[in-house]
């Protein structure tokens, strides 16, 4: 009886895991020539940050592998931030965000003082 109950529970867990909630980040991305791009509008800076920057700069802009950005606007202008996003700096790769997306995130970060 215990073996049957265990098998039922394991099977149920497997089915629920397979049918679980979707990956929201994956829903917001599309592929173009094998390269992943964001499809979020340029107007949602926090969403873009969460997709491309959070891994290194932290969930609350506190830093991690990359520097803290919680007060970056006190030291850098929007243009400076946009240049860093475009050209990279230190271990940060160039072009993580491009065009309007880079401008939107730079504007949002410049307001962090």
Segments making up each domain of the chain, as ranges: 42-113
**What per-residue confidence (pLDDT) applies to 24?**
44
**What per-residue confidence (pLDDT) applies to 9?**
73
* Residue 57, annotated as binding a ligand: yes
**What per-residue confidence (pLDDT) applies to 28?**
43
Determine the CATH number of domain 42-113. Answer: 1.10.760.10
Q: Write the DSSP assignment of 39-78 as a string of letters.
A: -S-TT-HHHHHHHHTHHHH-TTS--SSS---TTGGGT--H
Find out whether 81 and 106 touch, Cβ atoms under 8 Å.
yes
Encode the chain (113 residues) as per-residue pLDDT tens digits. 777 766 667 766 665 665 544 444 444 444 444 444 444 454 599 999 999 999 999 999 999 999 999 999 999 999 999 999 999 999 999 999 999 999 999 999 999 99
pTM value is: 0.62
**What per-residue confidence (pLDDT) applies to 3?**
76
* Residue 10, annotated as binding a ligand: no
* Residue 19, annotated as binding a ligand: no
Find out whether 62 and 53 touch, Cβ atoms under 8 Å.
no
């Amino acid at each position: 009886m215990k073996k049957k109950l265990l098998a039922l529970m394991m099977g149920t867990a497997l089915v629920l895991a397979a049918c679980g909630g979707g990956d929201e980040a994956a829903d917001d991305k599309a592929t173009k020539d094998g390269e992943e791009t964001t499809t979020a509008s340029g107007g949602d800076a926090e969403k873009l940050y969460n997709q491309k920057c959070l891994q290194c700069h932290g969930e609350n802009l506190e830093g991690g592998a990359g520097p803290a950005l919680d007060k970056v606007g006190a030291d850098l202008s929007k243009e400076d931030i946009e240049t860093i996003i475009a050209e990279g700096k230190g271990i940060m790769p160039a072009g993580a965000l491009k065009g309007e997306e880079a401008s939107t995130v730079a504007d949002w970060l410049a307001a962090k003082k």
